[in-house]
């Protein structure tokens, strides 16, 4: 592979960001384009493996690519982290490089093979996945320097290190000289081995539930995990990293490493979406990203194995769930995702359950004395035990699970279930209002040994609004005005029972 023509990414002589053309500078490579990003990353990785000698110290190291020495490879160390000038990468490897002065961002590559670094940010984007950096990208000597710890393990080159000559040799695939020079780089003392160490699945926590309601994100795992939060710009985002965590079988069903799941945030004015994924660069973590429309302060809190990110509102400070003496209400929309619940007359129970639950949430969160938590806020699935876990984590005062029934075509009506005597008053109060709203046959308040109202430790009721298997009930259940009337009835019953 030939050395490609030179393009220097330089900053103005008067300081970083000055006298720099805000239009993108681009270098377009030759026929070896498919190797470009992997080659770049290999250069960075090998630089990282070089000895560190102190603050902003030059290592005196040279780099040789297919027997041709690269010039001006000035390598610095900052806080024991190796930093390499992006200029060297662009000069010698020849691919598209763009500088966005307004955002302070350098973009390397294009399309699916893209690395984005932001000055003074400790996160980088590698092919769409967010990766932690030991040091942020920086400006020095009129050049942008990048940290090397973010480099992933998928490299397109063979690399050898000649310790005596202080030279790193890079070889493209198939080069016969690769086995004749130097030695395979050893693991650096500061832990810079970039090949992910995969913890056995049995040792990992599992992400079981994720929902967004009332301007607050909830993430629930099956055991306690360490959570790191970061604020990113260009665009504005809030990042959560859950260490030693993977997807539970329900939530992550069908999501491979690198695949991205999303949840709905239609009720949020300043959020475009919430994404969650296991990045290819580190399969030991789950990353959850809140994509913001503009910068927004927030508060991170934990309740048991649930983590909450509450976005600050303009008029009021943020509090933990149930703070300031608020009553905590957990609304559970039954079924979801691959579990449709009852199906009949052109409707799926999971859709009706969620539609009514979201309407109840919208009403209840208007009350300043109530804090609402949703077990799910879109078409996702939780195991029954995870729905219970959510309620226990937030120490809910009241739990309701919204369902619809199924039976023979003639079966019709509304019924409400309780399991413990302490829940009977809640069920009776709710049933009174729901029955009046539906106008369906009264199937009474009944004892039911259902998991979510048995295993919760607060007053809990399971609501069966109507029968999807009955044509008359179903025609009403899929009507938005009917759903709103039922939601208002549920809210009235809750407010009466909670005394707020």
Positions annotated as catalytic residues are 464
Token reading at 365: 């969160």
Token reading at 454: 């048995």
- CB-based contacts of 166, cutoff 8 Å, min separation 6: 50, 59, 60, 61, 62
d(CA 50, CA 168): 9
8 Å CB contact between 165 and 176: no
Exposure string for 76-85, b = 16+ CB within 10 A, e = fewer: bbbeebbbbb
8 Å CB contact between 120 and 136: yes
Three-class secondary structure of residue 190 per DSSP: coil
Exposure string for 188-199, b = 16+ CB within 10 A, e = fewer: beeebebebeee
d(CA 285, CA 204): 9
8 Å CB contact between 9 and 143: yes
8 Å CB contact between 250 and 306: no
List C-alpha distances in Å: 492 to 155, 174, 429, 497, 500.
61, 73, 9, 9, 10
Token reading at 112: 């699916």
- The pairing of beta strand 370-374 with beta strand 327-333: parallel
Rounded (5°) CA angle 477-482-486 = 95
For 200, what's the count of Cα atoms within 13 Å in the CB-facing half-sphere? 2
d(CA 96, CA 114): 10
Three-class secondary structure of residue 288 per DSSP: strand
8 Å CB contact between 206 and 222: yes
Phi, psi for residue 194 in degrees, rounded to 5: -90, -5
DSSP string, 350-371: HHHHHHHHHHHHHHHTTSTTEE
> Which DSSP helix (H) or strand (E) runs through 308?
strand 306-311
Strand-pair partners of 414: 442
d(CA 140, CA 143): 5
Sheet architecture: strand order including 167-172:
68-70, 62-65, 167-172, 157-162
DSSP 48: H
């Amino acid at each position: 592979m030939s050395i490609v023509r030179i393009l220097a990414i330089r900053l103005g002589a008067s300081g970083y960001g000055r006298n720099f053309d805000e239009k993108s500078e681009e270098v377009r490579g030759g026929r070896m384009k498919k190797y470009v990003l992997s080659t770049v990353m290999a250069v960075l990785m090998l630089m990282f493996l070089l000895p560190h000698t102190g603050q902003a110290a030059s290592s005196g190291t040279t780099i040789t690519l297919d027997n041709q020495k690269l010039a001006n490879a000035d390598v610095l160390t900052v806080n024991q982290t190796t930093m390499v000038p992006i200029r060297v990468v662009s000069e010698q490897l020849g691919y598209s490089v763009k500088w966005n002065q307004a955002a302070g961002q350098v973009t390397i590559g294009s399309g699916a093979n893209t690395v984005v670094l932001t000055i003074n940010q400790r996160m980088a984007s590698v092919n769409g996945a967010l990766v932690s950096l030991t040091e942020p990208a920086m400006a020095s000597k009129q050049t942008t320097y990048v940290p090397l710890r973010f480099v992933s393990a998928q490299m397109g080159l063979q690399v050898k290190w000649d310790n005596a000559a202080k030279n790193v040799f890079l070889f493209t695939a198939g080069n016969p000289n690769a086995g004749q020079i130097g030695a395979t780089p050893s693991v650096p003392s500061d832990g810079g081995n970039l090949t992910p160490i995969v913890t056995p699945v049995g040792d990992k926590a599992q992400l079981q539930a994720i929902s967004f309601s009332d301007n607050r994100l909830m993430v629930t795992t099956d055991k306690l995990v360490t959570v790191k939060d970061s604020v990113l710009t260009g665009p504005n985002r809030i990042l959560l990293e859950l260490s030693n965590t993977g997807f539970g079988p329900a939530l992550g069903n069908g999501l491979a490493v690198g695949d991205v799941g999303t949840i709905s945030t239609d009720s949020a004015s300043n959020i475009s979406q919430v994404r969650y994924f296991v990045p290819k660069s580190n399969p030991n973590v789950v990353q959850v990203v809140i994509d913001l429309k503009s910068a927004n302060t927030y508060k991170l809190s934990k309740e048991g194995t649930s983590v909450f990110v509450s976005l600050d509102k303009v008029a009021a400070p943020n509090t933990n769930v149930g703070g300031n003496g608020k009553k905590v209400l957990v609304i559970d929309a039954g079924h979801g995702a691959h579990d449709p619940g009852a199906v009949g007359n052109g409707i799926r129970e999971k859709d009706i359950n969620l539609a009514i639950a979201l309407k109840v949430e919208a009403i209840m969160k208007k009350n300043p004395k109530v804090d609402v938590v949703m077990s799910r806020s879109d078409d996702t699935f939780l195991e029954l035990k995870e729905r219970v876990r959510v309620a226990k984590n937030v120490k809910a005062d009241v739990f309701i699970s919204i369902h619809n029934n199924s039976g023979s075509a003639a079966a019709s009506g509304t019924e409400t279930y309780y399991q413990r005597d302490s829940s009977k008053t809640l069920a009776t109060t709710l049933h009174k209002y729901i029955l009046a709203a539906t106008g369906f046959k009264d199937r009474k308040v009944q004892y039911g040994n259902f998991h979510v109202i048995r295993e919760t430790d607060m007053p809990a009721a399971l609501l069966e609004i109507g029968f999807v298997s009955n044509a008359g009930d179903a025609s009403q259940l899929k009507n938005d005005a009917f759903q709103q009337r039922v939601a208002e009835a549920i809210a009235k019953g809750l407010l009466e029972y909670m005394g707020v």
